[in-house]
Chains A and B, each alone.
Chain A
Amino acid sequence: MNDRILGIAALALAVFMTAAGWSIEAPFAYEPVGPRAFPLLLALIIGLCGLWLVYKGGRAVESNPAGANARIALMVVCATAYAFLFQWLGFVIATSLMSVFVGRLFGGSWIKCAIGGVVMSLFFFVLFDKVLDVVLPGGLLENLI
Chain B
Amino acid sequence: MSGILDHLSIGFGVAFSLTNLLVAAIGSFIGTMVGVLPGLGPVNGVAMLIPIAFAMNLPPETALILLAAVYVGAEYGGRITAILLNVPGEASAIMTTLDGYPLARQGLANVALSLSAWSAFFGAIVSVVGIILLAPLLAKWALAFGPAEYFVLMIFAFCCLTSLLGKQPVKGVLAAMIGLSISVVGVDANSGVYRYTFESVHLADGIDFVVVVIALFAVSEMLEMLEKVAAGHSVEVTPSGRKLFNLKELALTWWSVVRSALVGFGVGVLPGAGASVAAAVAYSQEKRIIEAKDPEAKFGKGDLRGLVAPEAAATSSAIGSFVPMLTLGVPGSGTTAVMMGALTLYNITPGPVLFDTKPELVWGLIASLFVANVLLFVMNVPLVRLFSKVLSVPGWLMVPGILCISYIGVYAINAGTFDLLLVAGIGTLGYFLRKFGVPMAPLVLGVVLGNMMEQNLRRALSMTDGDVRVLFSSPVSISLWVAALAVVIVPQALRRLRKARRAATGQA
Contacts and interface: CB of A to CB of B under 8 A. Distances in A.
B441 to A, nearest CB: 17
Nearest to B394: A108
A6 B438 contact: yes
Given A45-B177, A52-B170, A75 B222 contact: yes
Interface string B392-413: 0011111111011101100110
Contacts of A103: 396-397, 399-400
A137 B411 contact: yes
B195 A134 contact: no
A20 interface: yes
A106 B404 contact: no
A138 interface: no
Given A32-B465, A83-B421, A121-B404, A68 B227 contact: yes
A3 B436 contact: yes
A141 interface: no
Given A35-B195, A39-B184, A79 B395 contact: no
B105 interface: no
A128 B408 contact: yes
A28 B188 CA distance: 13
Contact of A134 (B178, B396, B408, B457): B408
A93 interface: no
A68 to B, nearest CB: 5
Given A61-B435, A75-B223, A83-B424, A53 B170 contact: yes
Interface stretch (B52-60, B93-101, B249-257, B299-307): B52-60
Which of A20, A35, A105 has the largest count of B CB atoms less than 10 A from its CB?
Answer: A35
A62 B227 CA distance: 11
B181 A17 contact: yes
- Measured as residues with beta carbon below 8 angstroms from the partner, the interface class of chain A is 35 or more
B190 interface: yes
Nearest to B56: A132
Nearest to A116: B397
B216 to A, nearest CB: 13
Counting chain A CB atoms within 10 Å of each CB, the highest count among B171, B177, B461 belongs to: B177
Contacts of B2: none
Given A79-B424, A108-B394, A120 B437 contact: no
Q: Interface SS of chain A: helix, strand, loop or mixed?
A: helix
A120 B436 contact: no
Given A84-B421, A120-B397, A134 B55 contact: yes
Interface in B427-467: 427-428, 431, 435-438, 454, 457-458, 461-462, 465-466
B180 to A, nearest CB: 5
Given A21-B195, A32-B461, A132-B56, A49 B408 contact: no
A5 B433 CA distance: 11
A18 to B, nearest CB: 11
A104 B396 CA distance: 7
B188 A35 contact: yes
A42 B230 CA distance: 41
Contacts of A108: 394-397
A61 B290 CA distance: 38
Given A33-B458, A82-B407, A84-B417, A120 B195 contact: no
Interface string A46-75: 100110110000010110110010011001
Given A46-B174, A75-B223, A98-B404, A24 B193 contact: yes
A32 B405 CA distance: 45
Interface in B48-101: 52, 55-57
Given A79-B403, A106-B395, 17 more contacts: A10-B174, A13-B181, A21-B196, A24-B195, A28-B191, A35-B188, A35-B191, A45-B177, A49-B174, A59-B168, A72-B227, A79-B428, A83-B420, A86-B411, A103-B399, A124-B405, A134-B412
In the A-B complex, list the 10 residue pairs whose CB atoms are closest, starting with the nearest.
Answer: A108-B396, A32-B466, A83-B420, A26-B191, A103-B396, A99-B400, A106-B395, A35-B188, A79-B424, A134-B55
